[in-house]
């Protein structure tokens, strides 16, 4: 699934088996996003840069 990059308008590829919270990056500009999968299967991109490095698991 391709989602529009919020930075450059390019296409960000999100794997069809992506899980919510998966980090994807734009191949055009390198921006990183967190893929948020909705219950309807919708995919939204949240800028990972804003969230910082607080991924810790």
The span of 18-26, 33-41, 44-52 binding Zn ion (CB under 5 A) equals 18-26
What is the separation, in whole angstroms, between the first and last Cα of the chain? 26
The span of 5-13, 15-23, 36-44, 48-56 binding Zn ion (CB under 5 A) equals 5-13
Would you give the distance in Å from CA 55 to the centre of its chain? 14
Regarding 29 and contact with Zn ion (CB under 5 A), the answer is yes
Which one among 2, 13, 28, 46 touches Zn ion, defined by CB under 5 A?
28
CA distances to 31, 39, 55, 56 from 6, rounded to whole Å, are 9, 22, 21, 25
Residues at the site binding Zn ion, with contacts judged by CB under 5 A: 5, 7-8, 10, 26, 28-29, 31
């Amino acid at each position: 699934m391709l989602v529009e990059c919020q930075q450059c308008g390019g296409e960000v590829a999100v794997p069809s088996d992506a899980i919510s919270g998966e980090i994807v990056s734009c191949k055009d500009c390198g921006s990183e996003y967190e893929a948020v999968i909705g219950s309807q299967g919708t995919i939204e991109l949240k800028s990972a840069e804003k969230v910082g490095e607080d991924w810790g698991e």
